[in-house]
Amino acid sequence: MSQQSFTQNPWSYWMKGDGPDSDIVVSTRLRIARNLSQLPFPLLATDSQAEEVVRKVSAAAKDEAMKNLADFELITMEQISPLEKRVLVEKHLVSPNLAEESRKGAVLLNREESISIMINEEDHIRIQVLLPGFQLNEAWETGSKLDDLFEKHLNYAFDEKRGYLTSCPTNVGTGIRASVMLHLPALVITQQINRILQAINQVGLVVRGLYGEGSEALGNLFQLSNQVTLGLAESDILANLYSVARQIIEQERVARRYLHEHSRTALEDRIYRSYGILLYARNVESKEAAQRLSDVRLGIDLGIIKGIPSNIINELLVMTQPGFLQHHAGQKLTPEQRDERRARLIRERLSTVTN
């Protein structure tokens, strides 16, 4: 398997669209932050110390027990182009920080792209498990196994009182960040989303956009994740997130039923207008594409639009991003060229399942 396969192919395992509650939960992500005890954290490390971290972590990944769980490919950020880095960010395989700011950064990826081990990001190690649908417990089980296997070979920075030590104080303790990507168009249309977001902030959780902190909630996609990592057991963190996510899922379903029963004509008009634009438009901006794809996905989930698998919409979320468009074209594109290419790509992809 070559590094090009991760950047040329838009598909990742989390896009399958067949996980639990996948009509609303696009994906589940679990991330575990760890640092090595005998080396400075990435912000203070020299290049040689950062390279040592890459050697130690990649060597640990070759353990036989580890290889039975996942066979990894090492990609260093220095060996790939800026566009390839951007594609990895758009596929949620690496963070923007690893792609743009880290020195001697690297990532270990498994073939299905369900696991990525980021090296020399904000912390020495960021273990990430990314699964389709609502699979918090399954993600934790895999992440915990990986964490235990790495700890067999690596001495983690750990304090008996504070727990696992991290670069950012908000990650100290368990070092766990769990999140679910929720598609909430009905709550947005019925104008209930702001009330829900305000309530979420009061229970130790936070909502971010498609690409994490500081990003916009494009296409009615919201990342719900834990804020607190210190003073709570892993099971408590996951249980709290699960409970709140389950409530939001049910509220979205109630809002969808209400729209379907009381505003059916307006809802169908909105969905089919977006579907028509995606099928025939010659220029589509990124923000509009995300919104139109959200409408079509809602139509698919409600059975209004038939014959299009939801995984196609998940793929298009990545394929229509600026990095992938330009990497696929083999050159940098102007905004106008990207809009034209985005529209053509959407038309072609949808035509493969509608003809």
Q: Which residues are annotated as a binding site for ATP?
A: 27-31, 92, 126, 177-181, 208-213
Neighbours of 48 (CB within 10 A): 8
Annotated binding-site residues read: 27-31, 92, 126, 177-181, 208-213
Closest CA to 100 of 128, 77, 127: 77
Q: Could you give the CA distance from residue 316 to residue 11 in angstroms, rounded to a whole number?
A: 9
Q: Could you give the CA distance from residue 178 to residue 236 in angstroms, rounded to a whole number?
A: 12
The CB-based long-range contact list for 320-325 (8 Å cut-off, 24+ gap) reads: 320/284, 320/286, 320/289, 320/290, 320/293, 320/345, 320/346, 321/86, 321/87, 321/90, 321/286, 322/86, 322/286, 323/83, 323/85, 323/86, 323/87, 323/89, 323/90, 324/10, 324/86, 324/87, 324/90
- Cβ contacts of 160 within 8 Å, gap of 6 or more: none
